[in-house]
Structure 1
Amino acid sequence: MEKLLFDERPKKTRDELFDREKEIEEIKNNINRPLLAISGIRRIGKTSTLLVALNELKTDYVLIDCRRLKENYGRQDLYSIFSASFSSIIDKVRDILSGVRGVSIVGNSIEFKWKGRQSLSLADLFDHLNKKRLIIAIDEAQKLRGPLSTEIKDAIAHAYDYDENLTFIFTGSEIGLLYDFLGVEDKNSPLYGRYYYSVTLERFSREMSKEFLTKGFQEVGLRANNSVVDKLVDLFDGIPGWLTFGANRFLEGGKIDDIMEIAISVALDELEKLIDTKRRVSEISARRYKYALKCLGSGMNTWSKLLDCIQRSEGTTISSSVLDNILLSLEKTSIIKDYEFLDPIYREASKRMRV
């Protein structure tokens, strides 16, 4: 039997997606604005909600996945992602991009020249794309932060003002960094003062989580035990991606305790990758972030308790500004808010970090 709700890939139609009617309608009702932002923590369903809305609109769109961008990416990296994305809709844009300086169309591929006299600027690309109605959706847009961010925002600001056929939609799971990138409240940002419509995805309530799991199990012909549903809801706290993960592991024969261990292992790996980015700054910085995460995971939920815990762990004093910067960074990456983990699996994973 086909499984729709428990399919771990991004959903594309409403019958595959549980709930999110309000958010889908918000996107559709505001699609004629120049700029929208969709935010929510990891695994909350941003990409699925976006794709369902876009497919119902019947308007041509391109999805640019910025997760592939490395830190401190270069122009070649950026143009490579744009090239792959626009190649996926080549039949929609072939006519308007044919003959444009800096654009080569070879078979079913579109190539953008990124350096030299014949190179293509993003502003020029957007101007040419403006010859038709097009939605440009940029997934995990906070990854665009870096040395080229001002150039990218300059091009988007130009399109905002002059390219009326284009709508930009940004999604981001590192919510603070997403809004830092947009910079609509930053006087030094090219997008300063420009209005954007914001859509925020929240986690499911307990009752919605139970309904989601019950319906998903019914789709595959299983009448789930209430205790199993309750345990999965207790474990994953209304985060759709984790609920789907847990349900699929259960369908494969996994026990609840084993499912929890696998999920924690996945989350621990993700936290270690975050620490690796801090290690590029210094080993001391990486170590302090680890101590901060472990202390937060153990319940140090005030500024003074956290400071004391980190100092005792490290055996040295640290300045208040260092702790403030750590907290700000963890909040902007949507790991914590008000000294609490936004994802319960991350909280458990933090306790197992080795220093």
Structure 2
Amino acid sequence: MDDVSADARVEHVRAESSFTGLAQQMRASGLLRRRYGYYWMRLIAAPIIVAAGIAGFVLIGDTWWQLFVAAGFAIIFTQIAFLGHDAAHRQIFVSGRWNDWVSLILGDLLVGMSYGWWQHKHTKHHGNPNKLGADPDIELPVIAVTNESAGKYQRGPLRWLRAHQGWLFFPILLLEGVSLHASGVRRVFARGHLDRRWVEIVFLFVRIVGYLVVVFLVLSPGIAFTFLAVQLGLFGFYMGVSFAPNHKGMPVVPRNLRLDFLRRQVMMSRNVRGSRLLDIAMGGLNYQIEHHLFPSMPRPHLRRAAPIIEGYCLAQGVPYTRVGLFRSYAIVVAYINRVGLGERDAFACPLVEARASIGSAVRVA
């Protein structure tokens, strides 16, 4: 028994050192260096674009043409949220304080999402992606993405929803915008520690209340409500379709299973192949593997890092998943439907199924 434990410890050390080698390679390549020019251009452009959008909104006035403005705001706010995501991961500045304030201004003041709420949730996700009991991103209130959560709704109206949830997934994303705003507001008024609570409260009040006041001052009630429905719906949809391909449909890790860092981040994540236009549209989230391995790597470096990391993973025997955009959505829909239908082992983890062959990568807690 002692010999087995000693062997397991040796293999675990080897697994940990496998990431050390990759980290050294990334540092030597210069891909972890800051890109101040890239980010300063976007930080300056963000408030200017928002101000221009508001000015255009006021000038256009009370007309149904404003629905095109609503769609434009949905795109603008999502792109700003991506920029806030970069700041929250310390991609922009060396100083954590500078990154925090940029995230607060972009997230709370310009977009209307609580940075403190998002940071708390997202940090847990990065620590244990797709792990039961540890990743809040697989504990959704409406859609079940694990057999464990699907089993809670065997009766009542949610049973029908569960059985068809894959096809309903994308329509439900139209409500995600409202959910993101509401979750942030609840968090800043909830008990518990929250850095810069009053800053967030003031920023969110100015953003959400001020936005509503401007909309209803310029538009008649019917157009105003339709404008908000289109803007919030498309914002939530855009955010959802950008994050959905990253982990949904990848293995779910059992509660009692521990993995080394390289495998934990690579095997539970999925990249989406595409052009530089897709990189812009998805805010760099299409390089999810690279982002999870090196969260502070500046977004413009992810494309260059991808082939290096893919080659390294293949050399280490670590599966590296990369598919096209529409293929990723097809996987997500099929995957969620299988869970909703209650199929056994719909999210079977290959680390469990093939444990004998990759035991060196796994250590049971």
TM-score normalised by length of structure 2: 0.26
User: Quick check: which one's helix share is greater?
Assistant: 2
Higher relative contact order (CA 8 A, sep 6+): 2
TM-score normalised by length of structure 1: 0.27
